[in-house]
A and B are shown apart, each in its own frame.
Chain A
């Protein structure tokens, strides 16, 4: 599953994907070759090639037992990307570039193991210029993912997320919800609820310049990227502490809000680190 050094994202779905498409994930269905799953009576699976002699001899009712193996199935990996203007923020890292690296990494990782990769950008509504239906074609996936960093992010909101969630009907999918989550609380709640069917990994794009990296002293004229106005702030240690506390509180609130519906959010700050993301996905 991994390749090309440590820069590859590894993910593990929380559920057993169904479907007949062959992939690498342990499927819900049995079939094919691979990991042993269980034994069933011959009558249930009349496959003479897989008669388990040892189990059949152990059967006090002298029935024939057939081995079943787990089917390896593929899944669809989707990225729902917030393209509101706040994503334009450049602090210690360029937020859209981070998102681009994440998408490229996911596109590469998904298509390498035969999973399909889809991408939906959305601001107030679904963005047509950044839409990729789930595809297993590596080149197509990488091409669209590579465009993410250049796509203009000018939206005033992220209401399109709900639209995107409606499009993700059908079988459960692995969904990366990539945003800075500077959303109204109701939208966060609704988005998670709309995506509850899927295995959702919220990716919180953060920046140390927004919190820990704040200077201790000085005047800063803040300009809201989403057009909510400007404000002069006199930074001083006490205010900086309050600021950082507020940010931590926001992340905690997001975690609380996500808990019933999704995995715990992954905080992607400053630099894209595929290993950290892999660890996060494998352990949550």
Chain B
């Protein structure tokens, strides 16, 4: 396969490049004419005419285009597939979703019954809309409970992301291990890409103590990637708020949410926390996040290989159409046999042919 790169619009190529060796044939119309030739004693008899010359030139050109188009079409031209990088509005969003058992409960802390929906179901509904809203966002979904689970790596295939989000209301398990979840959520951002705004969206209904050793690693990762951090805290009614100081000793074990918040604040990255006590509050929080994250992001689009032979055939058809029209427009300048009719008393020079006179009369 021959490929011509460096042309604007991507690499072009031909399926059968050797057919292009026939291209010189396209110059044949310069030598050969399709029209029937009519002998004339002298070309001087025909007056010079610009329109005729233009038509002659046009027909020659049409012949060249027709032949060249056919040969090009036979060679099978195509524009190769490629990845195009464009700039859109959006961000890389790594969603870190709590899958602990408590997410299965409603905001009231009960098992959902009737029309009530669990925290997981509500966040699923709202996050799904979030994903669909903007075309050029990239998402990664990580779930965590005791151990983090990579659900979808960073991708712009929003169908996959939506499918992953649709799965987060499966009954959750066990405890909340935020530290490892954060680690995996951060790792989803992948290699450093300049000019990309990153968002780490933590959706959880509780917190846990982060081991001081792991805290150091997380700090390093946050410092390196510098994501905007949003914590969507789905608070069960009656449970302590982030700001609430515990009654007793203020230790991470006693108030893990408050200390996680403090930890996040100490990271030095843009950070906001949304405390949601119901589905509406969650939706509001998501809207806030959406509004905040409006930065340009380069995204790649895969352009498929495109067959251009239809174009070449169309070109050939155009040329052939013009030639056919030229052929149809050919005059009946046919060489008629000498009429065998006896000489009549018409003065020489007066046209005695009925056909021609009919045509003139018409």
Q: Which residues of A contact B (CB under 8 A)?
A: 7, 86-95, 97, 180, 182, 206, 208-210, 212-226, 228-235, 239, 242-243, 246-247, 250, 266-277
Task: Indicate if the CB atoms of B40 and A213 lie closer than 8 Å.
Answer: no
Question: With a CB–CB cut-off of 8 A, which chain A residues contact B53?
Answer: 232
Task: Indicate if the CB atoms of B343 and A218 lie closer than 8 Å.
Answer: no
> B56 within 8 Å of A by Cβ?
yes
Question: With a CB–CB cut-off of 8 A, which chain B residues contact A226?
Answer: 41-42
**Whole-angstrom distance between the alpha carbons of A126 and B296 in the complex?**
92
A266-B348, A276-B348 given; A213·B353 CB < 8 A: yes
Of A215, A229, A243, the contact of B359 (CB 8 Å cutoff): A215
> B21 within 8 Å of A by Cβ?
no
- Beta-carbon nearest neighbor of A226 in chain B: B42
> B213 within 8 Å of A by Cβ?
no
> B292 within 8 Å of A by Cβ?
no
Minimal beta-carbon separation of A185 from chain B (angstroms)? 11
* A-B pairs with beta carbons under 8 Å apart, 30 shown: A88-B39, A89-B40, A89-B41, A90-B338, A93-B338, A94-B338, A210-B45, A214-B333, A215-B333, A218-B329, A218-B331, A222-B46, A223-B39, A224-B40, A224-B42, A225-B39, A228-B43, A230-B33, A232-B33, A232-B56, A233-B46, A239-B47, A247-B45, A266-B348, A267-B348, A267-B349, A269-B349, A270-B348, A270-B352, A271-B339
Question: With a CB–CB cut-off of 8 A, which chain B residues contact A267?
Answer: 348-349
Task: Indicate if the CB atoms of A225 and B348 lie closer than 8 Å.
Answer: no
- Max chain B CB contacts within 10 Å: which of A7, A220, A226, A269? A220
A233-B52, A234-B51 given; A222·B38 CB < 8 A: yes
Question: With a CB–CB cut-off of 8 A, which chain A residues contact B341?
Answer: 271
Task: Indicate if the CB atoms of A275 and B343 lie closer than 8 Å.
Answer: yes
A231-B46, A232-B59, A239-B52 given; A209·B333 CB < 8 A: yes
Question: With a CB–CB cut-off of 8 A, which chain A residues contact B339?
Answer: 92-93, 270-271
- Max chain A CB contacts within 10 Å: which of B343, B346, B359? B343
Secondary structure of the B side of the interface?
loop
Task: Indicate if the CB atoms of A218 and B330 lie closer than 8 Å.
Answer: yes
A215-B332, A233-B49, A234-B52 given; A182·B348 CB < 8 A: no
- Beta-carbon nearest neighbor of A184 in chain B: B44
Minimal beta-carbon separation of B155 from chain A (angstroms)? 62
Minimal beta-carbon separation of A10 from chain B (angstroms)? 15
> B192 within 8 Å of A by Cβ?
no
Question: With a CB–CB cut-off of 8 A, which chain A residues contact B37?
Answer: 221-223, 230
A-B pairs under 8 A by CB, number = 163
A97-B338, A222-B40 given; A268·B45 CB < 8 A: no
Query: Given A92-B353, A216-B359, 7 more contacts at CB 8 Å?
Result: A92-B336, A210-B41, A214-B333, A224-B40, A225-B41, A233-B49, A271-B343
Task: Indicate if the CB atoms of A276 and B347 lie closer than 8 Å.
Answer: yes
Chain B 183-197 against A: per-residue CB contact (8 Å), 1 yes, 0 no? 000000000000000
Minimal beta-carbon separation of B342 from chain A (angstroms)? 9
Task: Indicate if the CB atoms of A223 and B338 lie closer than 8 Å.
Answer: no
**Whole-angstrom distance between the alpha carbons of A94 and B269 in the complex?**
102
Task: Indicate if the CB atoms of A270 and B39 lie closer than 8 Å.
Answer: no
Question: With a CB–CB cut-off of 8 A, which chain B residues contact A215?
Answer: 331-333, 359
Complex A-B, nearest 8 residue pairs according to Cβ-Cβ distance, in ascending order: A218-B331, A86-B41, A232-B56, A221-B35, A182-B42, A208-B351, A215-B331, A223-B37
Task: Indicate if the CB atoms of B41 and A180 lie closer than 8 Å.
Answer: yes
Chain B 318-362 against A: per-residue CB contact (8 Å), 1 yes, 0 no? 000000001001111101101101011111110111001001100
> B157 within 8 Å of A by Cβ?
no
**Whole-angstrom distance between the alpha carbons of A266 and B344 in the complex?**
17
- Beta-carbon nearest neighbor of B327 in chain A: A219
Question: With a CB–CB cut-off of 8 A, which chain B residues contact A94?
Answer: 338
**Whole-angstrom distance between the alpha carbons of A208 and B347 in the complex?**
13
> B55 within 8 Å of A by Cβ?
yes
- Beta-carbon nearest neighbor of A251 in chain B: B349
Of B42, B45, B329, B353, the contact of A270 (CB 8 Å cutoff): B353
Task: Indicate if the CB atoms of B42 and A213 lie closer than 8 Å.
Answer: no
